[in-house]
Amino acid sequence: MQAWGLILNQPIIKEATIVNVKFGDSVTVVNPVNLYGCAIGSNVFVGPFVEIQKDVNIGERSKIQSHSFICELVDIGKDCFIGHGVMFINDTFVKGGPARGDKSLWKQTKIGNNVSIGSNATILPVTICDNVVIGAGSVVTKDIKAPGVYVGNPAKFIKKLSD
């Protein structure tokens, strides 16, 4: 029970932080962020309210926009754009629910070079080749093996990229 101005139970409060991150040259990070145990290449931009977990690699000249979540086991190539609110998933609930700490059930995601992912897309554990555009709000559920534009839920090829 709580009376106005009186807190009966004290919450545990943790601050956004940057811990054990390997940064390349000329990286820009806009706080608040949670970055830990990851590697961020040169000339990368990371917007506010982003979380990048351990063992993630972000390639040179990539941009990660605000409110995106990049979980463990994700590799993002060079010259990529990750739009606002993009969510990466590594736990596919193979046993009907969360892995609950059993990381052996998690799966990897590999994003190639020159990939643009639109705002609010969700990326399940997949491999995406170079030179791909993922439309805003799309859900990528399967590997993408050919360059082009993909949209929808589930994301489907709609056209080749123009030269």
User: Does position 9 have pLDDT exceeding 90, yes or no?
Assistant: no
Residue 84 appears among annotated catalytic residues? no
Q: What is the pTM of this model?
A: 0.91
pLDDT at 4 (0 to 100):
63
How many Cβ atoms from other residues are within 10 Å of residue 154's Cβ? 11
- Residue 117 CA: distances (Å) to CA of 5, 22, 26, 136, 148: 45, 24, 23, 7, 12
Q: Which of 34, 43, 55, 67 is catalytic?
A: 67
Whether the CB-CB separation of 68 and 50 falls below 8 Å is answered with yes
Give whole-number Cα distances, 155 to 114, 115, 131, 144, 150, in Å.
Answer: 18, 14, 16, 9, 6
Q: Two tokens at 46?
A: 């990371």
Across the range 68-96, mean pLDDT stands at: 96
CATH class held by domain 18-88+106-159: mainly beta
Domain regions of the chain by residue span: 18-88+106-159
pLDDT of residue 10: 85
* Residue 105: strand, helix, or coil: helix
Residue 7's pLDDT band (cuts 50, 70, 90): low
Mean pLDDT of the region 62-74: 98
Confidence of residue 101 (pLDDT cuts 50, 70, 90): confident
